[in-house]
Structure 1
Amino acid sequence: MNRLAILCVDDEQHILDSLKIELERVLDRTYAIAIELAQGGEEALEVLEELEEDEYEVALVISDYVMPGMKGDELLKRIHAISPKTLKIMLTGQATVEAVGSAVNEAKLYRYISKPWQSEDLSLTVSEALHRYLQEQKLAERHLQLQEVNQALEVANRKQIQLIAQLRDNEHRLQQFLDGVPVGTIVLDNRGMLYALNAKAKELMGKDRVPDVTVTQFPGLYQLYRVNSEELYPSENLPSYRALQGESTRINDLEIRQEDRRIPIEVWGTPIYDTQGNIIYAIAAFQDITERQRAEAERQRLTQELLELNQANERFVPKQFLQLLDKKSIVEVEVGESVQQEMSILFANICHFSTLSENMTLDETFKFINSYLTQMEPAILEHQGFIDKYIGDTIMALFSHSADDAVRAGVDMLQRLAQYNTTRQRRDRLPIQIGIGINTGNLMLGTVGGRSRMDSTVISDAVNLASRMEGLTKTYGVSLLISHETFLRLSDPFEYDFRLVDRVAVKGKSNRVSVFEVFNADPPELRAGKLATKTQFEQALVNYYLQDWTAAAEGFSACLQHNPRDRAAKIYLQRTQKPQSPSPQNESERPWMYPQWQPVIVN
């Protein structure tokens, strides 16, 4: 296999330098890969040509979009035409949807990362891309080895069939046939006496033909045993004996024992008839199957490795994803296959992760994240969801059956987290808090990539809104928020403890999105307080929307008197106590007149 390289392209040298430092940190302990830089598209094509001449295999190209001369999407298209196996990542903050779509379709773009990039996002994306690239190379090599073993077995089987057909030739050509047969062959007359045997038979049996020996004496004379036992093989079960009874048989549980070795053999027995239908001979052909057994063991080993690789691959491509595409195996999936479906999207993120990890080593940070994710994963799987991807400490999960599955999974995650926090009682192990956001809507789920490398992806505005729901948990100091799209699809909303928290404007949308808090997993005292003040809180929220600051402040104050730990009520009370602006003239103006009151704009 050729040496591997990564090519980074940008028109600003300081960005290239930063990108190289990031990549060297990611690749330092795991991959031995060269990192090459190019300022602009033309230089990138020259570097690509030089790398190929030096027998480097360019595994990954990371390119900016806006560059003088040749833009990033055009460069990636040209690179795809030259090296279709190379994975491509567009790294920019200015690419249009059309440019990204063109790069996905024509350049087989692997991933799009916004600039400035997040280190964890870049690290995870590059590591995942290289890991899958190498895994697919290994899988292809194993598959080729398995094909070669199967071909060898097929060739051996064809030879055996040809030999059996040859053994049925007429009596007049028997001696000529025996001289040319490459397997051991013996001939018995109709009395069961050894009539002839060829050189290969002498070699395997360790003796020449002994006169006046019958088939019943074979096991003791030629040391014929059942495999892995001390029992002489019963003469009446030998294919040569059964051939004299008119049977054509095959056995593979017999071994010949010589002084220093045991030879496992396979034996075929066939009767030979005269023109009147009388048995006049019995022919037995046998061969040493030591190598075949080794080949079979190797085939089983390779098959097991292939199975393990497929099972490992399921950890990167969930089986639920394959089921949604109506596929039984990852082998059946082609690039560009997709399905449109309404699904619920869940995002979960650790609050204050930087604070938690600042006193950890990198190794401790990875162990911490994996320990946390191990606790969260079952809650998603047990509610018919699957994890689409991990983004650092963030989980993105999809639920195709119902919105209830997603909400129940979110509640379950918070309950499991509370139990998990009871094990983190040491001073250096602070309790974990997470924020969960859920939205429901139509999305496109499918594959993108090239002929040798592809990835699963989800495309929809609904995904972005779910991510923003998670972000709003920090704004209101709550653990679980759902959009009204999810709320309306619940089979029985009153199965849950919920309350309206806000209505937010979504960038690019004319209608606002109602945001509901689900607080089933809150500590008992806090949960009881929110249930007791639910009506009072929502009425205060209505007054807040109407800019009746006094009534709103009284309502939120009353909530806090009953439930002092209600952070959302505390936030709204603080907003009502800012200097007030004149009342709006009409309903359309009202939400935007007061800057301190202005809701979050969701991108």
Structure 2
Amino acid sequence: MQKKQPIQEHLLLEIEKLRQEVEHLRREKANLRALLEEATQHSDTIEADLHDKALSVERSSERKLAKFLDAMPMGVFVVDATGKPYYANQMAQYILGKRIAPETGIEQFPDIYQTYLAGTDLPYPSERQPLWRALQGESTTIEDLEIRRGDKIIPLEVWATPIFDENGQITYAIAVFQDITERKRAEIERSEFTNQLLEINSAYERFVPRQFLQFLNKESIVEVKLGDNIQQEMSVLFADIRNFTTLSERMTPSENFKFINSYLSCMESAIAENHGFIDKYIGDAIMALFSQDADNALKAGIAMLHRLNEYNQHWQSVGYDPISIGIGINSGSLMLGTVGSPSRMNGTVISDAVNLASRIESLTKYYDVSLLISHHTYLRLPNPDIYAIRTIDRVKVKGKSETVSIFEVFDADPPEIREGKLATATVFEQALLLYNQDNYVDAEQMFRDCLSINPLDKVAQIYLERCQLQLLYKVKV
């Protein structure tokens, strides 16, 4: 609307000029009447003289006004106080495609000039016409009127205002209008261009997450430069399909892509619903980031496992074996930024915290569990007691001396396994403590106790075998 303001101001100035011309004409006519009255009081010669002079002044004023109106680049249409057409300049007749019909009234304008509500086949209502409203003393501006000349449709912008006499009575109404076909076309093109930009932005968001741009304080991808970076405290989630290579070998390339895309779409929604976003896909693997509480990352991991159960029901219904995934989560300080070259760059995350999250995910295969988190994530949970969690190991990251505690989160396990792990939680923790103290004899017995209650506890089975190996090694030594 801001672009239209100069046009409106220009037209209002033109209307004001019209008012001034009409007022000037009114004064000259008043002078003519005075001259004619004076003429009646003198001789016939003087009367004729004054009469001729008066007519000359009137014709001169009318020519001046007509010349002024015809020079306007917009249509001017004037009606008298009864609503009958009084004057139309050349541009008005050109736009309307016909001369004025002096014996008609405003109520007949829709039929005579083929005026319609823009974008419809409805005649433009007489009571909404700017000239009609001007005769009621109202100044108006509209853009919802169009006229039709054969197959041609001409949208109009119309301004109308009343003209008052010296007694404050409405004597005329003036409408100034212009063909806004080019403006409408420009608006459509601008709208299409805007929509195209939105579509392009949306497409870019599928390659560069919107949240990534927000972290870099960028409104659009066009603002991103090589080397842009920011340090952020975040949680990192890695998820990977178990034995995907074996699974993919039984599918055609087309089936592989359909499977991967359906699986990733299922997982993405669980991440987005918990305020995370996918940083990248690595084949069948997912790397997701969470900038708020570690709770969001953990809830997303649990939700992904629940979604996987639903997905497997469909997967099995079409003749395939169910799939399993491993999820690893770690939290810490990350560097988000862009790497590459000016002609080809990627958004990426660089941090030891990322490497640890990937390492933790790989441990899910070794322990045959679904979800593991580091103690860095555990310590960032506002209320860890609401989850089904147990400690299962301490590991060293490659190239680092720091030992990291690993926790299993088994909320999404099948009910019988979950209940079994909860029932043996205390015994399992005591057995693990004994194992870490190198008391393999007592640890072995307690892991056996765990398995007697919960024979499906694969972690307890792994530690039982470790204890047996340690004892066997001592016997040999």
**Same-fold status (TM-score > 0.5):** yes
1:349-396 CA-partner distances (Å, limit 9, x unpaired): 101010111111121111111221222223222333222222111111
Alignment match, 2:329: 438
The answer to whether the aligner puts 1:174 opposite 2:22 as a matched pair is no
Alignment match, 2:358: 467
- Cα distance change, pair 209–357 in 1 and its aligned pair in 2 (3 A): same
Alignment match, 2:201: 310
Q: After superposition, where does 1:273-422 map in structure 2 within 5 Å?
A: 282-325=173-216, 336-422=227-313
Secondary structure of the residue aligned to 2:315 is coil
1:262-320 CA-partner distances (Å, limit 9, x unpaired): 54433222456789988776432223334443443343333333334334444444444
- Cα distance change, pair 276–331 in 1 and its aligned pair in 2 (3 A): farther
Structure-1 separation of matches of 2:66 and 2:329:
83
- Cα distance change, pair 509–181 in 1 and its aligned pair in 2 (3 A): same
- Cα distance change, pair 260–406 in 1 and its aligned pair in 2 (3 A): closer
- Cα distance change, pair 360–214 in 1 and its aligned pair in 2 (3 A): closer
Q: After superposition, where does 1:249-264 map in structure 2 within 5 Å?
A: 249-258=140-149, 261-264=152-155
Secondary structure of the residue aligned to 1:565 is coil
Structure-2 separation of matches of 1:274 and 1:187:
15
Alignment match, 2:393: 502
Secondary structure of the residue aligned to 1:383 is coil
AA of the residue aligned to 1:251:
I
Structure-2 separation of matches of 1:332 and 1:279:
58
- Cα distance change, pair 551–208 in 1 and its aligned pair in 2 (3 A): same
Tell me whether 443-452 or 492-501 shows the greater mean CA deviation.
443-452
Native 8 Å contact 1:380 1:387 kept in 2: yes
Native 8 Å contact 1:344 1:486 kept in 2: yes
Structure-1 separation of matches of 2:192 and 2:456:
60
Native 8 Å contact 2:70 2:91 kept in 1: no
Q: TM-score, normalised by structure 1?
A: 0.62
Native 8 Å contact 1:414 1:521 kept in 2: yes
Tell me whether 195-204 or 253-262 shows the greater mean CA deviation.
253-262
Alignment match, 1:545: 436
Native 8 Å contact 2:230 2:335 kept in 1: yes
AA of the residue aligned to 1:394:
A
Alignment match, 2:349: 458
Alignment match, 2:407: 516
1:436 CA drift (Å):
0.8
Secondary structure of the residue aligned to 1:360 is coil
Structure-1 separation of matches of 2:168 and 2:226:
63
AA of the residue aligned to 2:406:
V
Secondary structure of the residue aligned to 1:414 is helix
1:117-156 CA-partner distances (Å, limit 9, x unpaired): xxxxxxxxxxxxxxxxxxxxxxxxxxxxxxxxx9xx94x7
Q: TM-score, normalised by structure 2?
A: 0.76
- Cα distance change, pair 212–563 in 1 and its aligned pair in 2 (3 A): closer
Structure with the higher helix share, 1 or 2: 2
Secondary structure of the residue aligned to 1:423 is helix
Identity %: 56
Structure-1 separation of matches of 2:292 and 2:122:
61
Show structure 2 runs of 5+ residues with no match.
22-60
AA of the residue aligned to 1:433:
S
Secondary structure of the residue aligned to 2:382 is coil
1:479 CA drift (Å):
1.3
1:208 CA drift (Å):
2.1
Native 8 Å contact 1:219 1:225 kept in 2: yes
- Cα distance change, pair 195–535 in 1 and its aligned pair in 2 (3 A): closer
- Cα distance change, pair 416–233 in 1 and its aligned pair in 2 (3 A): closer
1:462 CA drift (Å):
0.7
1:329 CA drift (Å):
5.9
Secondary structure of the residue aligned to 2:413 is coil
Native 8 Å contact 2:124 2:145 kept in 1: no
Structure-2 separation of matches of 1:474 and 1:338:
34
The answer to whether the aligner puts 1:489 opposite 2:337 as a matched pair is no
1:392-442 CA-partner distances (Å, limit 9, x unpaired): 111112222222222222222222222322233258411111111111112
Structure-2 separation of matches of 1:313 and 1:412:
27
1:530 CA drift (Å):
2.8
1:526 CA drift (Å):
2.5
Native 8 Å contact 2:330 2:373 kept in 1: yes
Secondary structure of the residue aligned to 1:168 is helix
Structure-2 separation of matches of 1:532 and 1:495:
16
Secondary structure of the residue aligned to 1:369 is helix
AA of the residue aligned to 1:178:
L
Native 8 Å contact 2:114 2:123 kept in 1: no
1:187 CA drift (Å):
3.8
1:137-189 CA-partner distances (Å, limit 9, x unpaired): xxxxxxxxxxxxx9xx94x7645643442343342653333333333323446
Structure-2 separation of matches of 1:409 and 1:238:
60
Show structure 1 runs of 5+ residues with no match.
1-149, 584-593, 595-603
1:470 CA drift (Å):
0.1
Structure-2 separation of matches of 1:558 and 1:188:
103
Structure-1 separation of matches of 2:421 and 2:195:
55
AA of the residue aligned to 1:468:
R
